[in-house]
Homo-oligomer: A and B are copies of this chain.
Amino acid sequence: MKFLRNYWYVAAETKEIEPGQILSRKILNESIAFYRTKEGTLNAVQDLCPHRYVPLSLGRVQGDDIECGYHGACFNGKGQCTKIPGQDTIPDKANIKSYPVFEKYNFVWVWMGDPALSDDTSSMPDVFYMHDSDEWDANVGLMESFPAYYELLNDNFFDLSHAQFVHPETLGGGRLSEVFRKTARPGKVSSLAENEEGCVFEVSENKVLTEIHVLDSQLSPFFHQVMGKMKFGQENYEGNLDWLLSIEWHAPCITVFKPFIKPAGAPKDEGFYLSWQANIVTPETESSCHYFYSACQNLALGNDEVNKNLFEAFSFAFSQDKVIINGQTSCLSSYDFTQEELKSRVTFPGDQVTGSCRRVIAKLMAEQERTA
């Protein structure tokens, strides 16, 4: 299985790498040593010393370089070997691979493809300003080495009908599953009027946008509680709600949910975003990924309780997804289904949306192979 390479992937939160420290993380099957100089500059090089094949992450930061912990060879952020102890000349083959890195939105991004193309930052979706803004509180969690093929997580985000069965308490309210299954149609997301119930998904070259409206409904308990507390100063809001949900997927594996709620029939300025939730998945190997999940809110800045409740609701929901995805991974491995067989499974209404994501990736993979 191959990966899409000419993309910026999230490798870490910036705070995971302190000045003078090294972080080892495997991304697209490559072990990378991320290190920060004492002055704060971030570098990323192959986590392997070419001398005796020891992880450089077992060494230490010395000035601008990373020093191997076995016999002291040094490498700078460009992967150039700057020192072989006891020797004056350094052969070219002592140099190692380095990776373009970029810090933005409080994340460390790494470019896994042709360095010459790394100026293209379009795979770093600008939606993430919420992670690095005074106007939002961000609550980020990381599931390192989550044992699943990354497209299974995409499948999970795309098939909204799972919410009713997997997350009845939090994200699964009302007629979401029904509306998703019965009305999803391709089209411009702007074609779905604010007061129109339905679901539209809009596929472009490396993006899928989905807009779904569930109107005049009882949603999950969580939504009614937040509406009650945030708008009416009471424990709960028992009236019906309108739920306008925008979802942005950026190939290959970033999905942002923006659930907007308001009292049923109210004008839009009487409602608010419950949160913006980013799901950032970075493949580690063919069978594992790093999953950064975040819940951002601008309803009550600096309010620890609101932040905590939101993060816990989201973490709890993901713990439910985990059970399902783990089971799925174990079925797929014990039955040894090939990709071909995966295509011939039974199709359900709504699978066209999930399928659109799989097709975008397949097309981009084919393109990558053609130009390789």
Name A's B-contacting residues (CB within 8 A): 31, 48, 50-55, 58-59, 67-73, 81, 84-87, 91, 93-94, 155, 159, 161-162, 164-166, 177-178, 180-182, 323-324, 327-328, 330-332, 334-335, 337, 342, 345-346, 348-350
Contact = CB atoms under 8 A, between A and B. Distances in A.
B53 A85 contact: no
10 contacts: A31-B331, A31-B334, A54-B327, A70-B166, A70-B324, A71-B177, A85-B178, A86-B348, A87-B181, A87-B348
A46 to B, nearest CB: 10
A348 to B, nearest CB: 5
B155 A346 contact: no
Which among A48, A327, A335 has the greatest number of chain B C-beta atoms within 10 A? A327
Given A70-B324, A72-B164, A165-B72, A54 B86 contact: no
Contacts of A70: 162, 165-166, 324, 328
A331 B48 contact: yes
A350 B68 CA distance: 16
Contact of A87 (B51, B52, B84, B349): B349
Contacts of A87: 181, 348-349
A69 B166 contact: yes
Which among A71, A155, A323, A337 has the greatest number of chain B C-beta atoms within 10 A? A71
Which among A86, A166, A323, A334 has the greatest number of chain B C-beta atoms within 10 A? A86
- The count of identical subunits is 3
B345 A51 contact: yes
Given A71-B348, A72-B165, A84-B346, 11 more contacts: A50-B346, A53-B335, A54-B324, A58-B324, A71-B177, A71-B350, A84-B348, A85-B178, A85-B348, A86-B178, A86-B348
Contacts of A342: 53
Nearest to A86: B181
B161 A72 contact: yes
A111 to B, nearest CB: 22
A61 to B, nearest CB: 14
Contact of A86 (B155, B177, B331): B177
B331 A54 contact: yes
